[in-house]
């Protein structure tokens, strides 16, 4: 399981880029990063400490889900919180910081749903993101702590994205990593490099980079990569052994013009054979996706996502060796000031899934349709 991301450093410093490769938007605080159509509170609460402003923001949101072919242990229908989070941050001066804490769920296509009250203990704990940032100059800074990943075109939390649920490609990516990250910008280029623990393994043997080029006022291109320097058998809910011992690459193009935002991207991952860490075979995935949003009015928009991913080799990286999957998602959104409501319809189709690895109580169904609604306030 993993993430994405248009703000490596946006809003808490001078660098404004994301793994989605898009330029920072007009949100007063661009951390947590958010992809339109949702936007943050334009007047977040703040207080002064020693001449600096400390900002407070947060999200209180809930969702409902109805789906067919739910897997064993999941439910056909449920209501839950999707976010009950609070952020506090300092965004000026040489020393800056960001802390995000609370409950959250991370719905994603093709996977069972876990409640917001349970998921933090299984994944990134109750303070999922927290770091300090040293900004000695306008174009360079260093961040240390629990950081959003540099990989992928979708962020981690529901309120940050065009769609309520993350996609199939997101499921292959890291979401949050502990480590150190340096960010540098010059002209149209922004470069970030990180030494981190990959898929939250607590083994600091992963190197990541994100290079973004602003080609025009409407177009950016980004290349992201992450690879292991050393192998580890560490396993956990957020630390799948195959992905944590592999490499992953993205090529992302973002076009923003008028009412449109379109983000096509490609992804490739590879896990080598290494019996010493429980990987008796190698495997790879290759996939592509298009995310798009059209704003009919300042308050109402429609977002969509189409994606396809396939696997090769004898290592199970999707739904069994050599399995494939595709998905389609539509998400209409309405926001008035800090309140929003949005619906979502998605369809996921599997091909060549291994027996027991598909949908349904016995893992033999090859498709899942999911309806969702999310509503709440971004304060």
Residue position matching structure tokens 């490769």: 21
Tokens of 324: 């494939």
Q: Which residues contact 50 (CB under 8 A, 6 or more apart)?
A: none
Dihedral angle over CA of 154, 157, 159, 161, nearest 10: 10
CA 195 to CA 51: how far, in whole Å? 33
DSSP helix/strand/coil, 173: coil
Q: What is the pLDDT of residues 339-369, one digit of tens each?
A: 999 999 999 999 999 999 999 999 999 999 9
Q: Which residues contact 302 (CB under 8 A, 6 or more apart)?
A: 293, 294, 296, 330, 331, 332, 333
Residue ranges, the chain, pLDDT below 70: 1-28
pLDDT value at residue 8: 36
Q: What is the pLDDT of residues 16-54, one digit of tens each?
A: 333 333 333 345 687 999 999 999 998 999 999 988 999
C-beta separation of 131 from 145 below 8 A: yes
Q: From 72, 74, 113, 91, select the one nearest 31 (Cα to Cα).
A: 91
The pTM for the full model equals: 0.92
pLDDT value at residue 30: 73
Domain regions of the chain by residue span: 46-378
Helix (H) or strand (E) holding 253: strand 247-257
Q: Hey, how many other C-beta atoms are within 10 angstroms of the C-beta on 126? A: 11
Q: Cis link prior to 37 (omega < 30° from 0)?
A: yes
Q: State the fold for domain 46-378.
A: Porin (2.40.160)
């Amino acid at each position: 399981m993993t993430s994405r991301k248009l703000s490596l450093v946006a809003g808490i410093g001078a660098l404004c880029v994301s793994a989605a490769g898009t330029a920072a938007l007009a949100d007063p605080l661009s951390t947590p990063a958010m992809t339109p159509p949702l936007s943050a509170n334009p007047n977040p609460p703040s207080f002064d400490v020693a001449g600096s402003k400390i900002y407070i923001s947060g999200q209180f949101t809930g969702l409902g889900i109805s789906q067919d072919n739910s897997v064993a242990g999941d439910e056909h229908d449920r209501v839950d919180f999707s976010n009950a989070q609070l952020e506090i941050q300092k965004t000026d001066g040489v020393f800056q910081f960001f802390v995000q804490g609370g409950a959250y769920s991370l719905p994603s296509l093709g996977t069972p749903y876990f409640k917001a009250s349970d998921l933090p203990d299984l994944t990134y704990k109750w303070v999922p993101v927290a770091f300090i940032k040293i900004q000695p100059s306008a174009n360079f800074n260093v961040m240390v702590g629990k950081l959003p990943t540099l990989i992928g075109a979708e962020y981690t939390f529901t309120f940050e994205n065009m769609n309520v649920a993350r996609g199939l490609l997101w499921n292959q990516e890291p979401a949050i990593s502990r480590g150190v990250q340096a960010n540098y910008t010059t002209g149209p280029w922004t470069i970030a490099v990180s030494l981190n623990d990959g898929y939250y393994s607590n083994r600091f043997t992963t190197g990541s980079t994100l290079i973004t080029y602003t080609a025009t006022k409407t177009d950016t291109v980004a290349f992201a990569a992450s690879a292991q320097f050393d192998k580890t058998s560490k396993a956990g809910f957020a630390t799948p052994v195959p992905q944590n011992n592999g490499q992953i690459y993205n090529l992302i193009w973002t076009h923003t013009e008028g009412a449109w935002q379109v983000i096509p991207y490609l992804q490739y991952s590879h896990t080598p054979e290494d019996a010493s860490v429980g990987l008796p075979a190698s495997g790879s995935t290759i996939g592509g996706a298009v995310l798009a949003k059209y704003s009919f009015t300042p308050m109402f928009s429609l977002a969509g996502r189409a994606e396809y991913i396939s696997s090769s080799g004898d290592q199970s990286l999707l739904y069994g060796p050599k399995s494939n999957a595709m998905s389609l998602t539509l998400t209409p959104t309405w926001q008035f000031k800090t309140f929003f409501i949005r619906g979502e319809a998605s369809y996921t189709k599997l091909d060549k899934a291994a027996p027991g690895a598909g949908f349904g109580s016995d893992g033999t169904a090859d498709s899942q349709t999911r309806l969702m609604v999310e509503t709440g306030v971004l304060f």
